[in-house]
Amino acid sequence: MIVRQPSREVSPAPTEVDPRFQDPRMIRDILLASRTVAIVGLSPDELRASNFIGFYLRRHGYRVIPVNPRAAEIFGEKSYASLKDIPVPVDVVDVFRRPDAVPEIARDAVAIGAKALWLQFGVISLEGARIAEDGGLKVVMDRCMKVEHARHLGRFHWLGFNTGVITARRARQLG
Amino acid sequence: MTDRRRGAGDEGTRSYGFDTRSIHSGQRPDPYTGARAVPIFQTTSYVFEDADSAAAYFNLQEYGNTYSRIMNPTVATFEERVASLEGGVGAVAFASGLAAQAAAFFTMLTPGDHVVSSSALYGGTLTQLKHLARKLSLEVDFVDPDDLASWRAALRPNTKLLYGETIGNPGGNVLDIAGVAGIAHGIGAPLMIDSTFATPYLCRPIEHGADIVVHSATKFIGGHGTSIGGIVVEAGTFDWSNGRFPVVADPSPAYHGLAFHETFGMYGYLMKLRAESLRDLGAAMSPFNAFLFLLGLETLSLRMERHVANALGVAQFLEGHQAVASVRYAGLASSPYHALAGRYLPRGPGSIFVFDLAGGRDAGRRFIEALSLWSHLANVGDAKSLVIHPASTTHRQLSDDELAGAGVGPGTIRLSVGLESLEDLLEDLSCGLVASVEAT
């Protein structure tokens, strides 16, 4: 298991993560099908990566529900101590926590009927992934939800980043 | 068997070949007009949707255009295309190759840092490194690029960067990129490679362990001698948070306390390069130049194959000519770099090389004056064949002894072999060689 600082948006190093957890088609399908994202470990600090991502997802129409026992409210949304306290359906559970915290989060994600478990950069937990997959969830690992959204649906190409997107079809008009 | 899910809507979910990427990467046909060619966005600035969006763009919380000194959609297409061809996570373009390099250095180095560089470099880079060393209190040591032990011996506790060229200018040294990368990574420093002479078609240094690749796009990337430009590509695999690069990893006072590497991970160095260095140094690439470079990239592989084939033809012709003392081209079996070229440049070691006339300085002058097809000028990497005689031009103030110290003989000629018919190039060279012999 590779343990790195779990706060960055994206991985700086090649990892041995199973490619099925980083499949571009699955990632794009999750981004397109989801509306509500619970961010576990969302920081109220505007300079933290988790805050950048929450801010970005809200701009792009997702409802972001903070899961952080030490915050009362972030982005004007009530912050919950755990996933099980959230009173509305959750599509994606996005995790900014240490890898050893993931199995419990995965069990909660299954319990609340989430559709996908998304583990941010450096959050690598095969046990958590197994629990989530056994519960019927899709699993993304060691990928950033903001980068992947910007790569497939947004404006990542405006900053000269390598999106890997090749297409002869007209771009979607950005709303 | 064809995957039946493939087809429309497949964008970004599979990988593509080099030629496909050289034509398509970085561009999605314009959503409003459907324009198929890359539009030239000749604009300085961009209207914000609302005040919140403007703030989000400047905070880097959202990817949005602000000002063309920092980003421009035409330039971004060029950046992504080169990043894709080199196998990097992204790229930032600059007004020239030297501006690109300066910014790449400036982003990671601080006063008192030490750089170990190959000594076999383009003269402009040599001058820049020495100039930076003096003005920015950087320390630079130059080493024999062919000797890995000399790289190791030059390392110091404050060494922050190793630097070299894939194919050295003008001597044609082929760098053992993997060997030097291993030395760099052993001390937690990145390896930066100028791969201008190779282009991503002939060599992709990132695949051999390089962390940053810089190009003068002025040369083969453009390919037509029309535009000056440069670009920096990053592999995205270097750990800038290894404790040796607080200038990249720590909260930046130049960007309201943003910690670029923590926040943007593998994109952190490039974000800092753009949002701070390009912003502050100001050497932005013009959208029109980016457009011309994109036209060049569309035919990069086709052009490089012809460049390499012509170069080998010219080198073999020269090697067999009695007016020629030696030919330094790694494509020849006689070259000491032939084996390294086979490893790093299997499609051919480019088309820029030097040879030495049997005669001296005057023979060189006569040779140049007898040519009518090769252009006598100070550039390389053009569709047109180019020639220069250093001893009578760029190095004319030097004595023969000083020339030797610079690795240039009195009869050394540098060629940049273009795309013309090979027999015409050889015919013209024959005229020059005959004239050179008459002069001695």
Token match 């590779």: residue?
A2
Q: What are the tens digits of pLDDT across the range B19-62?
A: 999 999 999 998 889 999 999 999 999 999 999 999 999 888 89
How many Å apart are CA B345 and CA B172, to the nearest integer?
12
Q: What are the tens digits of pLDDT across the range B213-225?
A: 999 999 999 999 9
Of the pLDDT bands very low, low, confident and very high (cuts 50, 70, 90), residue A173 is low
DSSP code at position B45: B
Please state the rounded mean pLDDT for residues B327-354. Answer: 97
Residues 225-284 of B with CB under 8 A from A: 236-241, 251, 257-259, 261-268, 270-271, 274
B196 close to B382: Cβ distance less than 8 angstroms: no
pLDDT at position B391: 83
**Model ipTM value:** 0.90
A55: nearest CB among B31, B61, B264: B61
Tell me which chain A residues have a C-beta less than 8 angstroms from the C-beta of B71. Answer: 158-160
The two structure tokens encoding residue A84: 């099980």
Inter-chain touch A168–B25, beta carbons under 8 Å: no
Tell me which chain B residues have a C-beta less than 8 angstroms from the C-beta of A150. Answer: 63
Please state the rounded mean pLDDT for residues B237-252. Answer: 94
B92: nearest CB among A8, A46, A160: A160
Q: What are the tens digits of pLDDT across the range A44-77?
A: 999 899 999 999 999 999 999 999 999 999 999 9
Higher pLDDT, A6 or B23: B23
Tell me the three state secondary structure of residue B398. coil
Burial level of B199, CB count in 10 A (0-12/13-18/19+)? buried
Nearest to B124 by CA among B222, B194, B220: B194
Inter-chain touch A28–B89, beta carbons under 8 Å: no
Share of chain B above pLDDT 70, in %: 96
Q: What are the tens digits of pLDDT across the range A83-113?
A: 999 999 999 999 999 999 999 999 999 999 9
Higher pLDDT, B126 or A64: A64
Nearest to A40 by CA among A12, A68, A17: A68
Inter-chain touch A170–B20, beta carbons under 8 Å: no
Inter-chain touch A169–B8, beta carbons under 8 Å: yes
The second-level CATH assignment, the architecture, of A19-145 is 3-Layer(aba) Sandwich (3.40)
Dihedral sign (CA A40, A46, A49, A51) = positive
Of the pLDDT bands very low, low, confident and very high (cuts 50, 70, 90), residue A175 is very low
B57 close to B65: Cβ distance less than 8 angstroms: yes
pLDDT, chain A, mean:
89
A166: nearest CB among B11, B77, B268: B11
Task: Look at residue B439 and tell me whether its pLDDT is greater than 70.
Answer: no
Which whole-number Å values give the CA distances from B208 to B86, B205, B270, B336, B384, in the listed order?
11, 5, 20, 20, 31
Task: Look at residue B272 and tell me whether its pLDDT is greater than 60.
Answer: yes
Dihedral sign (CA A33, A36, A41, A46) = positive
Token match 């994600």: residue?
A109
Of the pLDDT bands very low, low, confident and very high (cuts 50, 70, 90), residue A168 is very high
Task: Return the H-helix or E-strand segment holding B159.
Answer: strand B159-165
Tell me which chain A residues have a C-beta less than 8 angstroms from the C-beta of B81. Answer: none
Predicted TM-score (pTM) of this structure: 0.92
Partner residues linked to B413 by β-bridges: B355
Residue B66 one-letter amino acid: T
Q: Kindly write down the DSSP assignment for every residue of B104-130, as one continuous string.
A: HHHHH--TT-EEEEESS--HHHHHHHH
Q: Are strands A138-141 and B114-118 parallel, antiparallel or unpaired?
A: unpaired
Of the pLDDT bands very low, low, confident and very high (cuts 50, 70, 90), residue B10 is low
A155: nearest CB among B14, B63, B239: B63
Inter-chain touch A11–B265, beta carbons under 8 Å: yes
What are chain B's domains? Answer: 19-296 (3.40.640.10), 301-439 (3.90.1150.10)
Residue B4, chain A, CB below 8 Å: the answer is no
